[in-house]
């Protein structure tokens, strides 16, 4: 029996699973730091689920970073790989290597209604682009298109590294503080786990607060407990998330809806709903009416990146077998 393997590889964790054409199974999480190269992790995964490398025929790896050419350098860990050498080493017939947020985007093609929490009501136009944005370790941005033949296409990009948009005097003060410290200030500088802490530190400098928190989770926990300073930071975080998401909607024409993924938003979902996110999302001057019917959801699906890697792999296998 031949095997198909899928993986969603981040900086700290690499999620591996088998793919049966419809869904992932035998999901295991391995630490990239425990292995010298991706092929070593694949072998370890197969051994742990009682499968042999000889049976492996096709693989899809979803990885952070721009994907092009034969060589790939992982963004958030020390791994690197040659596509051709990886295939030769494992005896593969098919390797699909995609950006991790392209996989997140493809995963939205299988998301169920019960795996979505409404943040902003609206009516999605199914034939129009869908925006996926996810603050977590970094800030991922992807686009999903439904093609006329029913297949799905993800448009990979590095939208998390766009300039942080500034629209108020307070934001300009916060931006100036971060610029003095880091130089270029991208959206990811704020809209990520480490970015939450950077934003708090900027607030401390601008507002004259004595720093108390040293970890992003401490900030969100304190905000949930009603701490005023932490609430101010989380509020600004949500506003910037809304503004960046809205900018991407205008650029992409994403009337198919917006999906928020990543590890941060689920922790603060009630604060997100009460925040200025929705106002900032649609506050685009003469183009504000453009947003009237565009919905926003928070994705609660457990493994959207793995599912998306599976969808991408299955589409490739279907193309080869036609």
- Tens digit of pLDDT for each residue in 274-305? 999 999 999 999 999 999 999 999 999 988 99
Residue that has been written with the tokens 């958030």 in this structure: 76
Burial 198-226 (b: 16+ CB within 10 A, else e): bbbbbbbbeeeeeeebeebebbbebbeee
Task: List, for residues 213-261, the tens digit of each pLDDT value.
Answer: 999 999 999 999 999 999 999 999 999 999 999 999 999 999 999 999 9
**Is residue 320 over pLDDT 90?**
no
Query: Residues annotated as binding site for ATP?
Result: 7-12
Measured between alpha carbons, how far is 18 from 45 in angstroms, rounded to an integer?
Answer: 10
**Is residue 164 over pLDDT 90?**
yes
Q: How many helices (H) and strands (E) would you count in the chain?
A: 10, 13
Give pLDDT, residue 99: 87
For the whole model, what pTM was predicted? 0.91
Give pLDDT, residue 1: 61
Task: List, for residues 172-222, the tens digit of each pLDDT value.
Answer: 999 999 999 999 999 999 999 999 999 999 999 999 999 999 999 999 999
Domains recognised in the chain with CATH numbers: 3-99+303-320 (3.30.420.40), 112-300 (3.40.367.20)
Query: Residues annotated as binding site?
Result: 7-12
DSSP-derived secondary structure for 45-109: HHHHTT--GGGEEEEEEEESS---SSEEE-SSSS-EEEHHHHHHHHT-SEEEEEEHHHHHHHHTT
Residue 57 · residue 92 · CB < 8 Å: yes
Q: In degrees to the nearest 10, what's the CA dihedral of 155, 161, 166, 172?
A: 170
């Amino acid at each position: 029996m031949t095997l198909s393997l899928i993986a969603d590889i981040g900086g700290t964790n690499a999620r591996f699973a088998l793919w049966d054409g419809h869904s992932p199974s035998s999901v295991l999480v391995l630490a990239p730091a425990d292995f010298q190269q991706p092929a070593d992790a694949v072998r370890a995964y197969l051994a742990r689920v009682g499968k042999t490398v000889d049976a492996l025929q096709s693989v899809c790896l979803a990885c952070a970073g721009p994907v092009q050419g034969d060589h790939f350098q992982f963004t958030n860990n020390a791994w690197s790989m040659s596509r051709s050498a990886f295939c030769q080493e494992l005896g593969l017939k098919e390797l699909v290597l995609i950006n991790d947020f392209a996989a997140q985007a493809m995963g939205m093609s299988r998301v169920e209604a019960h795996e979505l929490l409404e943040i902003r009501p609206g009516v999605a136009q199914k034939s129009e682009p869908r925006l996926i944005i996810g603050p977590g370790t970094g800030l991922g941005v992807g686009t999903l298109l439904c093609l006329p033949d029913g297949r799905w296409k993800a448009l990979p990009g590095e939208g998390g590294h766009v300039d942080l948009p500034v629209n108020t005097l307070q934001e300009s003060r916060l931006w100036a503080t971060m610029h003095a410290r880091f130089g270029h200030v991208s959206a990811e500088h704020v809209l990520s786990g480490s970015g939450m802490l950077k934003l708090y530190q900027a607030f401390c400098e601008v507002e004259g607060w004595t720093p108390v928190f040293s970890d992003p989770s401490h900030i969100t926990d304190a905000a949930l407990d009603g701490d005023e300073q932490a609430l101010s930071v989380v509020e600004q975080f949500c506003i910037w998330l809304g503004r960046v998401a809205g900018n991407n909607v205008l650029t992409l024409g994403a009337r198919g809806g917006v999906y928020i993924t990543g590890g941060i938003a689920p922790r603060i979902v009630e604060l997100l709903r009460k925040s200025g996110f929705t106002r900032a999302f649609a506050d685009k001057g003469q183009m504000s009416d453009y947003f009237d019917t565009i919905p926003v959801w928070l994705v609660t699906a457990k493994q959207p990146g793995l599912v998306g890697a599976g969808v991408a792999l299955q589409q490739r296998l279907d193309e080869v077998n036609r």
